Amino acid sequence: MPKDDRAYVGHMLDIARKAVNLLGAKSRIEFDQDEVLLLGLTHLIQTLGEAARKVTPEYQLAHPGIPWKKIIGMRNKVVHDYLDVNPVIVWHVVK
């Protein structure tokens, strides 16, 4: 069964909106003090990157304005180098 790029991209948008809403108007200080928020946002970033990874190369090439490699690279960082995920980068990714 062929991949449905639109479904993956739609999922990416849903996840991105969820992350932005979850962070809301919290300050950096509030963010730094909320481990559950960090864990939740990290998971959403991982999930978003996984969806991006499933998008076909043809679709990615047709939409060069989306930083596919950075999105997928962040997913790889969270999954494979989880002990060294920088909360400041998580903050900036979601902001």
Residue 2: what pLDDT? 58
Residue 1: what pLDDT? 45
Domain containing 57 equals 5-94
Domain count, the chain: 1
| Cα-to-chain-centroid distance, residue 85 | 13
Which residues of the chain register pLDDT less than 70? 1-2
